[in-house]
Structure 1
Amino acid sequence: MSDARAVDKVQRQRVLRDLLATRALQSQADVVDALAAEGIACNQATVSRDLDDLKAVKVRGVDGSQSYRVRADLVDSGWADVEATIRQFVVDITASGNLVVLRTPPACAHPVASAIDLGGVDGAIATIAGDDTVLVVAAEGLAGADLAQRIRAHLGH
């Protein structure tokens, strides 16, 4: 552990953003500890404000654990994360009306829904995840079959 050093808010948030991009920090206490390991002393209230400022969200990883990520970093990665997640977990894609139904193995629907929500899939306005099924809602005027085809085209399905 480094000696604590004085840093301003911008420097602290820069270090925090780097930590969130490279480590699975699951709680604000984990974030406080990680910053302390970088020589930056702060309390939970400061971390809470910094996470809000950075627009950090908790996302579920492929192993089911949740950790903080900066939403902009997830969106910037776009289809790469969506593609990898869907290739890993989706076993079937079907459409009905303005809906797309994605089937996964048990306990794998949440990572798929999160990837679609955060990946900014064009035409998908919302997801609902169960245990092994993700319901994707298409935007007004877009048929579910068309959205399913967009997902398949980008993913090689």
Structure 2
Amino acid sequence: MSKEIRLQVITKLISENEIKTQEELSQMLSNNGLHVTQATISRDIRALKLIKVPSKDGCLKYSFEMENSFIILEKLEHKVKDALVSLEVINYFVMMKTLPGHAHSFGALLDSLELEGKAGTICGNDTCLIICRSHQAALSIKQQIENYQR
């Protein structure tokens, strides 16, 4: 069986099941008539860019990066509603004022997202400075964050 077909089967299995280990994936592939080695499964996991994310029962399961981005966006939305005090664009920067102790978690969430025009963040106790590549990018990122306040 070709690698492309095997990757399609793995994609389908990951999408439809909570697969937590390579052994579980190997067993499911075997049940589907695909007998592969652990090394092949490891290569396929890297090729599909699978990551581990929390499952419903608190354990870790395989998932696609896109799902992880959704989880991060969901966390950011809650954080914005709970701890954001103000947003201000200053040239190429977006300055976020937060409740004390929350700036670093905002920075970590923002750093894990690939926001267009974002170069990085610098955070203190109650301030997170988003460094942007242009003034237009700063305005766009500010607008994206404001959208989570609604």
Q: Which TM-score tier does this pair reach, normalised by the shorter chain?
A: 0.5 to 0.7
TM-score, normalised by the number of residues in structure 2: 0.58
Corresponding position of 1:106: none
How many residue pairs match? The answer is 134
What does residue 18 of structure 1 align with? 12
1:54 positional shift: 1.6
Shift of 1:148: 4.2
Q: 1:99 to 1:20 in 2, by over 3 A?
A: farther
1:33-82 CA-to-partner distances (Å, cap 9, x unmatched) read 232233322121010111112222233457754332233xx17x97x655
Residues 51 and 64, structure 2, Cα contact 8 Å, conserved in 1: yes
Distance 1:99 1:81, change over 3 A: same
Larger radius of gyration between Structure 1 and Structure 2? 2
Aligned CA RMSD, in angstroms, stands at 4.3
- Equivalent residue number for residue 86 of structure 1: 76
The match for 2:26 is 32
1:75-154 equivalence runs, <5 A: 83-88=73-78, 90=80, 91-93=82-84, 94=86, 98=94, 100=96, 113=109, 117=112, 120-125=114-119, 137-141=130-134, 146=139, 147-153=141-147
Against the structure 1 CA distance between its residues 23 and 138, is the aligned structure 2 distance closer, same or farther, given a 3 Å change threshold? Answer: farther
Mapped contact 1:32–1:42 kept (Cα < 8 A): yes
Q: What 5-or-longer segments of structure 1 have no aligned partner?
A: 1-6, 104-108
**Residues 16/121 of structure 1: CA separation in 2 closer, same or farther (3 Å cut):** same
1:4 aligns to what?
none
Any unmatched runs of 5+ in structure 2?
Answer: 100-104
Identity among equivalent positions (%) equals 21
